[in-house]
Chains A and B, each alone.
Chain A
Amino acid sequence: MKPGRAIAGFLVLPFALMVAALLVIAALAGGLPSTGPVGARLNATFNGAQVPAQYREWVTRAGQMCPEVTPQLLAAQLEQESGWNPNAVSPVGAMGIAQFMPGTWPNYGQDEDGGGASPYHPGDAIMAAARYDCELAALVRGYIETGRASGDVQDLMLAAYNAGPGAVLKYAGIPQYTETQNYVRVIRSLMDKYQDVIPDIAAGTPFGQAVVEFAMRHRGVPYSWGGGDTSGPSEGFGNGAGVKGFDCSSLVQYAVYHASGGKLMLPRVSQAQVTVGQPVPRDFAVMLPGDVIGFDPHRNGDYSHIGIYIGNGQMVHAPKTGDVVKVSDLSESYYANSAWLVRRFG
């Protein structure tokens, strides 16, 4: 090495370390995006404030072990598993904050805190949980890359966590096990508590306009019964199987979720969506873009359809099987003759 370069390196080192330290502090505080390109279904940052303070650094650190296992995913698992109780013992013998079974712990447990490896030491357990998750994530990512499974890496990792990777391979995706599907759903829901979704929209966009814009972006996407979730169009169910899209209520759920920065998760069906939020009269002079309109076509109390008002007597909605997300006039007889319930969420 030339002496000049060595000196330059020597001078740069303290500055570089300082910058690095500041970035690490920012990451610990949840100020930097923590979802890697592989595991990101949403553009979200880790909200460390929701993690009990004594475990925040561990979760932050463990959540950087691999891109798929983000701090918010890990936090959601820990809440589900033990409710953040480091001394938890379950009726089936699972131990500690990450609820390792005695037969599983030795494969992943290491001493992280200098006190000897123990599933009852939060640092050991949290790091071991991430290590286990990351191994599963690498395994299922391999399945996807070699065409042996399809889906989101995080979803498949969670499915493997509940049912074992063999089941993911057998079903080439999330297995049709009710319990496994439920586990993936629960962790996905809990993640919202530990992340801030960054709305992919111009700063300062009013809430109602944002609801409209998030729905309008999906014009042309197929209707798919049971399809759609907070991450966007997804494969539906029944005759929607194999069709990636939205149904009427999932489109509304998606648009409101994103407009609220992931803070507002509406119920999954129209009849429940029209019971929450602020009531608005059925009057175009009062209604605003972004208001949600539930329809009861038979006027018997069954709210079986829902759309998003966009102004000028029109709505954007996912109408029915065989159709696509589109704009319709509310003067069309089917809608005009229905009973309405209009709700506002922001």
Chain B
Amino acid sequence: MSSDGPGMRAAQGLRGTVALLTFLALIVGAALFGGCGLIGKAGKTSGTADDTPAASSSSPSRTAPATVPPAQPIPRGTATPTLPLPSTAKVAQSDASAVSSAALTVMFTYDTTTDTTSQDAVLRAQPWLTEEYAATQREHVSVSPPGADWTTWTEHRAYTAPVLERGRDQAPTDTATTAYRQWLVRYTPTGRDGWKGTEVTVVVFALLTRQSAADPWRVSDMLVRS
């Protein structure tokens, strides 16, 4: 798109005020949405990178594509951290609060010396999840890197040791085979070099299920909120 093309079409096809308004709309539309040449300066033909936008760039089609090129997956961690974690052998399996607390403790215990993303911690929590929910978590292969905070944590060889507080908002009533829990999960990345990061708090809604009252509780779904 060029800025004079739409303008010329408007001048030819319309009259008076209508022509002017249409012309302005096209110009403004091109400037705001077309990304075509009205912002920034002309691109350089040589030289080094510049922090100022250049003249033009192609925009993706507004027609929904059938697919997009696959993004490169983020590799998973290859080692198991040595941090202490709850064990199914030591937690009362008939206690939905204890099981959900343990599951979330594992899920939010990160060790950047062994983990590449938080997904590694999610996978360690599989013994606390229903088989179906665990299978869902296993499917996930992240294609977006873990981000700036994680990179900083890694530089400090940091880990987390989450502290959980039971959420007290009125939850649905438990049945023999379904339980609802809410937890505030707080963790502060702590470097092995003495560094401490900013505390993070999330609220997690957990659904636990079991086949019968004799079976152990397992987490079958979760919702994370700010």
**Which positions in A face B, CB cutoff 8 Å?**
1, 5-6, 8-9, 12-13, 16-17, 19-21, 23-24, 27-28, 32, 54-55, 57-58, 60-61, 64-66, 79-83, 85, 88, 90-92, 94, 99, 101-104, 107, 110-116, 118, 120-124, 127, 131-132, 134-136, 138-139, 141-142, 145, 161-165, 167, 175-183, 185, 188-189, 225-226, 229, 237-240, 247-249, 265, 267-272, 302-305, 320-321
B68 with A239: CB separation less than 8 A: no
B38 with A58: CB separation less than 8 A: no
Instruction: Apart from A181-B222, A238-B172, A248-B170, list 7 A-B contacts with CB within 8 A.
Output: A64-B33, A80-B148, A104-B72, A131-B58, A138-B65, A164-B143, A238-B205
A139 with B67: CB separation less than 8 A: yes
Q: How far is the CB of B105 from chain A (nearest CB, A)?
A: 14
B40 with A24: CB separation less than 8 A: no
**B81 on the interface (CB 8 Å rule)?**
no
**Which positions in B face A, CB cutoff 8 Å?**
3, 7-8, 11-12, 19-20, 23-24, 27-28, 30-33, 35, 38-40, 43-54, 57-65, 67-72, 74-75, 107, 112, 116-119, 122, 133, 136-137, 139-152, 154, 167-172, 178, 180, 182, 184, 201-203, 205, 207, 221-226
Q: Which 5 A-B pairs have the closest CB atoms?
A: A142-B64, A114-B44, A103-B72, A9-B11, A83-B148
B137 with A24: CB separation less than 8 A: no
CA distance A103 to B69 in the complex (A): 10
CA distance A323 to B195 in the complex (A): 48
Partner of B51, one of A58, A64, A101, A270: A58
Q: How far is the CB of B219 from chain A (nearest CB, A)?
A: 10
Count A-B pairs with CB separation below 8 Å.
Answer: 295
Chain B residue contacts of A99, Cβ below 8 A: 144-145, 147
CA distance A179 to B123 in the complex (A): 11
Chain A residue contacts of B142, Cβ below 8 A: 162-163, 179-180
* Closest residue on chain B to residue A146 by CB atoms: B64
* Closest residue on chain B to residue A296 by CB atoms: B168
Q: Can you report 12 A-B residue pairs in the complex whose CB atoms are below 8 A from each other?
A: A9-B8, A16-B20, A134-B59, A139-B68, A161-B143, A161-B144, A180-B142, A225-B169, A237-B207, A238-B171, A269-B182, A320-B170
Chain B residue contacts of A165, Cβ below 8 A: 67-68
- Which secondary structure dominates chain B's binding surface? loop
B74 with A268: CB separation less than 8 A: no
Partner of A178, one of B23, B54, B224: B224
A181 with B168: CB separation less than 8 A: no
CA distance A162 to B71 in the complex (A): 10
Chain B residue contacts of A61, Cβ below 8 A: 35, 39-40, 53
CA distance A265 to B201 in the complex (A): 13
Interface centre among A20, A32, A79, A305 (most CB of B within 10 A): A20
Chain B residue contacts of A247, Cβ below 8 A: 169
Query: With A135-B65, A139-B68, A164-B71 given, is the CB distance from A24 to B140 under 8 Å?
Result: no
B70 with A164: CB separation less than 8 A: yes
Chain B residue contacts of A122, Cβ below 8 A: 49, 51
